[in-house]
Chain A
Amino acid sequence: MTTPKTHGIIAEFDSVDAIIAAANQVREAGYTKWDCHTPFPVHGLDDAMAIKQTKLPWLVLVMGISGCLGGMFLQWWTNAYDYVYIISGKPAWSLPANIPVMFEMTILFSALTAFFSMWIINNLPKWYNPLFHAASFTKVTDDRFVLAIESRDPLYGEATRGLLQSAGALAMEEVNPPEDDGLMPSKLKGWLGVVFSLMLLPPVMIASSMYSNSSEPRVHLVPDMDSQMSFGEQEASSFFADGRSMRAPIAGTYAQEDDHLLGEKPGYYTGKEDGAYLTALPVEVTQELMARGQERFGIYCGVCHGMGGKGDGAVSRRAQKLEMATWVQPADLHTDLVKVQPPGQIFETMTNGIRTMPGYARQIPVQDRWAIVLYLQALQRASAGE
């Protein structure tokens, strides 16, 4: 008859031979819920207890291979797929160069698996154990070998003591843990509760800021580039005598639009001479210039103004089809409003833009702009004949 309160019985031995012999006897007697506790792994005890080889190595192998493939995938995805760039002539997916990291990840995954799965399979950490309540159990980690048989073993009973005695036990002890053994002290529970609640704060804060609006500028974690040491425009500087960071142009500097210094007719660069629009083209009118103008008009202007200049370009038609409320129709270049404009004004409009039309100074070189003006004049004259 087992006593409900007792956990089991432990027997103490003082030599390796004794514990192995005792283990053999206990195993042969048919006990199943028992174990030996030793200060170091005793070789031969595994066989005496008939312990099967653990499956741990297979798990490690699987995780190791995942680490290897994971490493390969990581490097392929980051360097050869998501953010591709060539460096020092190496292909984007440089498999030889990926080997070191793949190797390290294989080892890392394998080692983490071996370590953590060993503790998990061993059911550790488990800081309470009924056996710790036995006074003689502390000697296990020193120099004694203990054989423990649990009371829940079907064979546990009076004979157990006798068996252990005959196996040569130096001492035996019944293990009777207190009622609240294994329960977490309420103080500890309280503290864990507090810690857990505090740990919930950061994700809550993050979530609340992600799904709300704020008129404040973003928090900038790495403000290195925000305040740079280089000088901004109009900034004061103590380095120069005049206190300015900006320097005046040197003698002989001329404006980009200084036509006569560059050998061009007045108004070539701006379309204006002395503030008034040019009324004639400042370039030689030739067949080539006209052809050039037609080509360039087709490239830059036709998309909005239409190939005939009627304001019905493909972009405009599309915008109207989509019923875009904010779309301003490009000007019909054959209206009187446009026809009355001198060439210089057309040139200026092309250069700087007007209303919602952007300036094309960056895309169309000066000579080409005059070619387009020439072609436009030809277009306007052609429609006048209709």
Chain B
Amino acid sequence: MADFTAVKELTDAQLDDLVHPPQLVQGTEKFHDITESVCVVAEAHRAPKAWYVAFGIAVTFLGILGAMIFHLVTTGVGVWGNNQPVAWGWPIVNFVFWVGIGHAGTLISAVLFLFRQGWRTGINRFAEAMTIFAVICAGMFPAIHVGRIWVIYWVFPIPNQMDMWPNFRSPLLWDVFAVSTYFTVSLLFWYMGLVPDLATQRDRAKTKLRKMLYGAFALGWNGSNRQWHRYERAYLILAALATPLVLSVHSVVSFDFAISQLPGWHTTIFPPYFVAGAIFSGFAMVMTLAVPARQLFGLKHLITMRHLELINKVIMATGMLVGYAYAMEAFMAWYSGNKYEGFTFVNRAFGPYAWAYWIMVSCNVISPQIFWFKKARRSIPIMFIVSIFVNIGMWFERFVIVVTSLNRDFLPSSWNYFTPTIVDLLTLMGSFGLFFTLFLLFCRWLPQVAMAEVKNVMPAAHAHGPDHEEDQ
């Protein structure tokens, strides 16, 4: 087998060729090489050293998260910085942040599939995994922020001895349904895509334990074409369902704010604006993960510069959508003649949280502009740094939205400054620990690239005859 870690990055000339873009898989035309390069990662007796270091750090932060949640549950919500009037502080910001990150995975899996974009196959497996882990982190926050976590099951409409039902007119309950549906559908979609690849790992397994575990989850998949036919149909349906789902979930999350009457919150553009922002931050996270993963696990021939440049272009496009929303909000704040709305916008830029506002603007609007330059789009260090900035910026966007509108609303006598506590900070850092622990476990034991799907977009997968499909 050829050594793929030495595969060279694509050249400018190759990337600029519009009519014959570079192959999605570099360095080989053989299916077997795909199988080998992806499976050896999970089959390796020892993971790369960097994996152990990263895993150690991630588990440490996971432990911190556990400690913070324990402290929260035993002491109470007062350990956080929430006060009056900023009764919704970091937990909700973190929730929206994590849910947003999850959206890119679904977009790559589902929406790009519907648009016949073959390049998605290099990254869709771990983007979907990223979605599931992000949604787990996200779902944790509303659960722990309710105060009495031991009765969290009251959010579900289960018949009970109190003869009470939850309030379906509340967006908080819509969140419950939306995020649970999103988690379920993402998990189903991800698992469905995994089954053929698990079958591959089952068939290569050297030990009985591996054969049993991979085999159990591979459900006995044998590549039968009759099975593939129904599988493809179901995959298309799930992709077609996941697309409106992705739009709806972050719209429902935006409803948490937009259905209120608070200036800065109550504005009709929130649903599509939040969705665009979610995809923006999600793709940035994909970039943050893809750059080290392809290096560390020798996947540069499957996740090529073509993939990375396309991710950067999506980051630019969605960043522009977010910028458009900022512009619309700012214009309407004046045009509406609503002096509270107008004040909110001036306050955001020049009030006590101006520092957060300008971090947000420089990270979200200004930093992706560097991608107008081809060299920047194709530079690994620059794209990695920009992706980190975008994630920071998107966290701050949710912070600015939540905190500035609450901290200074209609009545000046109610104004109060919000300061996070160390518990807030450590809980957020701990959630990264949870995310990375799960993600690193995925990288270690499961196929990071969708082998069957990648094989499907190689030239050898296409029959030569009257009906043939070119790589899109």
Contacts and interface: CB of A to CB of B under 8 A. Distances in A.
A127 B237 contact: no
Given A16-B462, A107-B241, 14 more contacts: A17-B465, A37-B222, A37-B224, A51-B226, A56-B233, A83-B164, A101-B177, A107-B244, A111-B185, A111-B242, A118-B231, A122-B231, A127-B219, A140-B223
A56 B165 contact: no
Contacts of A45: 225
A358 to B, nearest CB: 29
B233 A54 contact: yes
Interface string A268-288: 000000000000000000000
A121 interface: yes
A79 B220 contact: no
B181 A97 contact: no
Interface stretch (B134-142, B192-200, B392-400): B192-200
Given A54-B230, A100-B252, A115 B168 contact: no
Interface in B246-273: 248, 252, 255
A129 interface: yes
Contact of A83 (B31, B165, B177, B463): B165
Contact of B224 (A35, A87, A105): A35
Interface stretch (B293-301, B341-349, B354-362, B452-460): B452-460
B329 to A, nearest CB: 23
Contacts, number: 212
Interface residues of B, number: 73
A30 B272 CA distance: 55
Nearest to B188: A115
A138 interface: yes
A105 B177 contact: yes
Interface of B: 30-32, 35, 148, 150-151, 157, 163-171, 173-174, 177-178, 181, 184-185, 188-189, 192, 196, 199-200, 202-204, 215-216, 219-234, 237-238, 241-242, 244-245, 248, 252, 255, 451-453, 455-456, 460-465, 467, 469
B229 A41 contact: yes
A257 interface: no
Given A124-B227, A143-B30, A40 B453 contact: yes
Contacts of A82: 163, 165
B169 A46 contact: no
Contacts of A151: none
Contacts of A216: none
Interface of B is mostly: helix
B35 A142 contact: yes
A111 B238 contact: yes
24 contacts: A16-B463, A17-B463, A36-B225, A38-B228, A39-B200, A40-B453, A40-B461, A75-B168, A82-B163, A83-B165, A98-B168, A101-B177, A104-B181, A111-B189, A112-B184, A118-B234, A121-B230, A124-B221, A128-B220, A141-B199, A142-B203, A143-B31, A143-B32, A143-B455
B176 to A, nearest CB: 9
A222 to B, nearest CB: 6
B225 A46 contact: yes
A258 to B, nearest CB: 43
A276 B447 CA distance: 95
Contact of B456 (A40, A100, A114, A127): A40
B157 A74 contact: yes
Contact of B225 (A41, A121, A143): A41
Interface in A62-87: 74-75, 78-79, 82-83, 87
B196 A17 contact: no
A107 B248 contact: yes
Given A39-B223, A42-B463, A140-B223, A101 B229 contact: no
Interface string A107-135: 11011101101110110111111011000
A115 B452 CA distance: 18
A41 B231 contact: yes
Given A79-B168, A121-B230, A129 B177 contact: no
Interface in A215-232: 222, 224
A382 B165 CA distance: 59
A167 to B, nearest CB: 15
Contacts of A53: 233
A254 B231 CA distance: 84
Given A100-B248, A142-B35, A56 B237 contact: yes
A116 to B, nearest CB: 9
Given A20-B463, A112-B184, A35 B166 contact: no
Q: How large is the interface on A (under 10, 10 to 19, 20 to 34, 35 or more residues)?
A: 35 or more
Residue from A97, A105, A142 having most chain B Cβ neighbours under 10 A: A142
A102 B147 CA distance: 28
B185 A44 contact: no
Given A37-B224, A82-B165, A124-B221, A108 B184 contact: yes
A57 B241 contact: no
A100 B464 CA distance: 47
A59 to B, nearest CB: 10
A153 to B, nearest CB: 15
Residue from A15, A105, A107, A146 having most chain B Cβ neighbours under 10 A: A107
A364 B224 CA distance: 85
A98 B157 CA distance: 14
Contacts of B225: 35-38, 41-42, 45-46, 49, 51
Contacts of A103: 244, 248
A355 interface: no
A126 B203 contact: no
A88 B259 CA distance: 12
B181 A107 contact: yes
B451 to A, nearest CB: 8
B255 A100 contact: yes
Nearest to A15: B460
A141 B223 contact: yes
B90 to A, nearest CB: 25
Contacts of B151: 222, 224
A43 interface: yes
Which A-B residue pairs are the 5 nearest by beta carbons? A143-B31, A78-B165, A118-B234, A125-B219, A141-B200
B237 A107 contact: no
A55 to B, nearest CB: 10
A90 interface: yes
Nearest to A16: B463
A60 interface: yes
A122 B227 contact: yes
A101 B461 CA distance: 42
Contacts of B241: 107, 110-111, 114
Nearest to B452: A40
A94 interface: yes
A36 B219 CA distance: 18
A131 B220 CA distance: 11
Nearest to A67: B181
A56 B216 contact: no
A44 B229 CA distance: 11
A94 to B, nearest CB: 5
A129 B226 contact: no
